[in-house]
Chain A
Amino acid sequence: MITELASSLGESIERVGDMCRFLVRIVVQLPRSLTRPQLIVDQIYNTGALSLVIIMLSGLFVGMVLGLQGFELLRRFGSEEALGTAAAIGLVKELGPVVTALLFAGRAGTALASEIGLMRATDQLSAMEMMAVDPVRRVVAPRFLGGVITMPLLAAIFSLIGIYGAQLVGVQMMHVDSGSFWSQMQASVDLRDVNEGIVKSGVFGVACSLIAVYEGYHSEPTAEGVGAATTRTVVTSAVVVLFLDYLITAFFLK
């Protein structure tokens, strides 16, 4: 039991190390893949534009729930006007980056992992190798970069829609004063809070994209292998995102 635990811990550490080495390989190839912007544009479309609907819908609903729950809670203290602040801080600092990252792992991450995994399974990656084209440069690096660019933007859109969702519930349905909703928010949300959110989503973007391309690239070249790789992508991304979220939050608290 203990030896099993130790060996699985050892494996995890090994995997983290291997991922970091893979990250270095990608970063080395990034400048060369920048010479083909069309490839990156395609990937921003795949990971970003195609995730937009799910991000916006989720943002709206999360914001509305936040509006409702926040209102119920704040009413007990007689300070419903603080709803804007509560919703904005909750979304910008935590829910925006974290929920976006989890949705990203589920929508774009699995798509990336299975796409690259299928390319591995159908020898497309080996074919590139044989044509003297490095698949890390041609396939992996643009996808990674696309994810890294996309994530903060998706998180920002999520937070923005979420704030409007909270406003919808709070102001339109619960009749919190619209002016104090916004002015209280503006008075107490600091640029530092927004920065924290941006930093978080940037870090999550690197982590989720790396995990997705890593799992896809290293998947077993079979149908089961590709399936396992997509599952691992979601699970690993979720755990890593929540762990990093704690670290970054603690860091920003000083």
Chain B
Amino acid sequence: MRKSRAMNLGTGLFLLLGFAALFFLTTQTTSHGLSFRSVPHYEVTAKFENIGDLKVGAPVSMAGVQIGRVVNIRFDPRDFKAVVTLRIDDTYNQIPTDSDASIYTQGLLGGQYVGLSPGGSETFLKNHDQIAFTQSALVLENLIGQFLANFNKHSSSSSSGAATGGQPK
């Protein structure tokens, strides 16, 4: 009987380990982690002209420190803007109301995230507030387009020169 008890113990440990691993994979490698932990938080919205490649679950950071996540993205058909809901941990409850939100890219090809830079107001963002100042994502195509337009304006309009000049950043 001792052998069978050791086996049961081994089996139990194995099952425990297996389910712990499954739990870890579902919560810790994905963005669903926060909702499980349910840290006290509040939500604010921000309207962007263009959110580029931003996705639900993307981090929200301030001065490079992650303070929350993007929990919802929808399109507002009245002003043709994207409405992004940011869930911010309650620990960071002293963000000035006139802070502005921008969409940045991590690395050259990395995912996009929302960065907040603080304003100077004495009042702080509360639940369901809206961030007024926003800056849209830099869309690479637009950037290149603008660059080309400027280039054409300034150079003495040689089309072949524009084509080769458009290649590098």
Is any CB of A less than 8 Å from a CB of B in the complex? yes
Task: Mark interface residues in B3-37 (1 if CB within 8 Å of A CB, else 0).
Answer: 01001101101110111011011101111110000
Q: Check B11 against A41 for contact (C-beta < 8 Å).
A: yes
In the bound complex, residues from chain A placing their C-beta under 8 Å from that of B66 are 183
Q: Is the CB of A77 within 8 A of B106?
A: no
Which residues of chain A come closer than 8 Å to B163, judged between CB atoms? none
Kindly list chain A residues whose C-beta atoms are within 8 Å of the C-beta of B17.
52, 153, 157
- Interface-side segment among A4-12, A107-115, A193-201, A241-249: A193-201
B-facing residues in A160-205 (Cβ within 8 Å): 160, 163, 180, 183-191, 193-194, 197-198
Binds A, one of B84-92, B107-115, B131-139: B107-115
Selected interface stretch from A43-51, A61-69, A122-130, A216-224: A43-51
Classify chain A: how many residues form its interface, as a range.
35 or more
In the complex, are the beta carbons of B109 and A45 less than 8 A apart? no
What are the residues of chain B within 8 A of A211 when measuring CB–CB?
Answer: none
The answer to the question of B57 belonging to the interface, with a C-beta cut-off of 8 Å to chain A, is yes
Q: With a CB–CB cut-off of 8 A, which chain A residues contact B26? A: 191, 194
Q: Which of B11, B29, B32 contacts A49 (CB 8 A)?
A: B11
Contact residues in A for B29 (Cβ distance below 8 Å): 88, 92, 163, 185-186, 189, 194
**Which residue of the partner chain, among A44, A82, A157, A188, contacts B21 with CB atoms under 8 Å?**
A157
> How far is B32's CA from A147's CA once the two chains are assembled, in angstroms?
29
Q: Chain A interface mostly helix, strand, loop or mixed?
A: helix
B83 to chain A, nearest CB (A): 20
CA distance A150 to B66 in the complex (A): 37
* CB of B1 to closest CB in A, whole Å: 12
Asked if A79 meets B109 with Cβ closer than 8 Å, knowing A44-B14, A48-B18, A92-B25, the reply is: yes
Residues in chain B near residue A186, CB distance under 8 A = 28-31, 33, 57
Contact (Cβ within 8 A) B30 A190:
yes
Interface flag for B58 (CB, 8 Å) = yes
Contacts of A88 on B, CB cut-off 8 Å?
29
Q: How far is the CA of A77 from the CA of B110 in the complex (A)?
A: 10
Central interface residue in A49, A152, A159, A197, by most chain B CB within 10 Å: A49
In the complex, what residue of chain A is closest to B14 when comparing beta carbons?
Answer: A49
Chain A residues with Cβ below 8 Å from B4 are 38, 42
Contacts A49-B10, A194-B25, A197-B25 given; indicate if A154 touches B109 (C-beta within 8 A): no
A121 within 8 A of B: no
> Chain A residue with minimal CB distance to B12?
A41
Report the minimum CB–CB distance from A237 to chain B (whole Å): 20
| Residues A81 and B107 in contact in the complex (CB < 8 Å), given A160-B21, A163-B29 | yes
* B30–A78 touching, CB < 8 Å: no
Chain A residues 2 to 48 lying within 8 A of chain B, measured CB to CB, are 38, 41-42, 44-45, 48
User: Which residue on chain A has the smallest CB distance to residue B7?
Assistant: A45
B68 within 8 A of A: no
A185: B residues at CB distance < 8 A:
29
A82-B107 contact in complex given A88-B29, A157-B21, A159-B25, C-beta closer than 8 Å = yes
Residues of B within 8 A of A44 (CB): 11, 14-15
Closest beta carbon of chain A to B95's beta carbon, Å: 20
Are A45 and B10 closer than 8 Å at their CB atoms?
Answer: yes
Is A156 at the interface (CB under 8 A from chain B)?
yes
Q: Report the separation of the CA atoms of residues A91 and B111 in the bound assembly, to the nearest whole angstrom.
A: 20
Is A152 in contact with B7, judged by CB distance below 8 angstroms?
A: no
Q: Is the CB of B21 within 8 A of A156?
A: yes
Q: Can you give 8 A-B contacts (C-beta < 8 A)?
A: A48-B14, A79-B108, A79-B109, A82-B109, A88-B29, A156-B22, A191-B32, A198-B22
Apart from A153-B15, A187-B31, what are 16 other A-B pairs with CB-CB below 8 Å? A44-B14, A48-B18, A49-B11, A78-B108, A81-B110, A82-B107, A88-B29, A153-B22, A157-B17, A157-B21, A160-B21, A160-B24, A160-B25, A184-B106, A189-B29, A193-B30
Closest 3 CB pairs of A and B: A153-B18, A156-B21, A49-B14
